Amino acid sequence: MTFDLFDNLPDYDRDGGISSEPLAPGASVLRRFARAQAGALLDVVAGVAAVAPFRHLVTPGGRRMSVAMTNCGRLGWVSDRQGYRYDPVDPATGLHWPAMPRAFAVLARDAAAAAGYPDFTPDACLINRYLPGTRLSLHQDRDELDVRAPIVSVSLGVPAVFLFGGLRRADRPARIRVIHGDVVVWGGPSRLAFHGIAPLAQADHPLTGDTRINLTFRKAG
């Protein structure tokens, strides 16, 4: 079943303007922030994946993640039986991760500044690929050496339900529908908030088909 990309977004500017929606202290959703350059961003993703292909990582407990992942930047986030960590080398190829594309770095910097975090310079971009039914369980981004820098998360393709909770796993998360071009930024008092993605619903987007691509920018090193 497919659905209207603008369903249930009464505060959304359907005429194309960017708007900011508070989410929690230190966190906000920048509606449509990346919409104008989304096609170019997806082309860059394809270029990164040609060098560092998408793969399904394994958790330290041996569970295969349903989300397919790759990275670009000085560091890449990896997971295996040895744990979660950042590594400059792609373990699948033995090569350094592709460099951070300028378009990615500029978008991340501008989105962070728009959300109140100036001078953000990411050194890692985790690229996630979601298909129908794919989910990402609630977790904290805490593998970075310095958690004073924010997280910048860009949604491309089909809509998703972003889960944003508190500082305890038991805190009930808010459910925020994010669509093509939306950017979520969180830091400060919300930097270690638990967050995730509900199982992706079947939908279709003219640029990505039934797929959602998520870019998560971090200052890891």
| Domain-embedded: residue 16 | no
130 is in an annotated binding site: yes
pLDDT of residue 146: 87
For 56, the token pair is 């399904």
135 is in an annotated binding site: no
For 131, the token pair is 């298909």
218 is in an annotated binding site: yes
14 is in an annotated binding site: no
| Domain-embedded: residue 14 | no
| Domain-embedded: residue 1 | no
| Domain-embedded: residue 3 | no
What does R_g of the chain's alpha carbons equal in angstroms? 16
214 is in an annotated binding site: yes
Mean pLDDT of 84-103: 97
Judge whether residue 9 has pLDDT over 50: no
Judge whether residue 98 has pLDDT over 60: yes
Domain that residue 86 falls in: 21-218
Q: Which CATH number belongs to the domain containing residue 105 in this structure?
A: 2.60.120.590
216 is in an annotated binding site: yes
86 is in an annotated binding site: yes
Beta bridge partners of 121: none
| Domain-embedded: residue 112 | yes
pLDDT of residue 215: 98
pLDDT of residue 18: 87
When the pLDDT of each residue in the chain is averaged and rounded to a whole number, the result is: 92
pLDDT of residue 5: 27
Domain count, the chain: 1
- Is 161:212 a contact under the CB 8 Å cutoff? no
| Domain-embedded: residue 7 | no
pLDDT of residue 135: 95
Judge whether residue 10 has pLDDT over 80: no
pLDDT of residue 2: 26
Judge whether residue 93 has pLDDT over 70: yes
77 is in an annotated binding site: yes
Judge whether residue 1 has pLDDT over 50: no
For residue 17, name the pLDDT band (cuts at 50, 70, 90): confident
Judge whether residue 14 has pLDDT over 50: no
217 is in an annotated binding site: yes
pLDDT of residue 7: 30
| Domain-embedded: residue 30 | yes
| Domain-embedded: residue 5 | no
127 is in an annotated binding site: no
pLDDT of residue 191: 98
Q: Which residue has the higher pLDDT, 8 or 199?
A: 199
35 is in an annotated binding site: no
pLDDT of residue 64: 94
Judge whether residue 11 has pLDDT over 70: no
215 is in an annotated binding site: yes
128 is in an annotated binding site: yes
* Predicted confidence (pLDDT) per residue in 106-150, tens digit: 999 999 999 999 999 999 999 999 999 999 999 999 999 989 999
Judge whether residue 206 has pLDDT over 70: yes
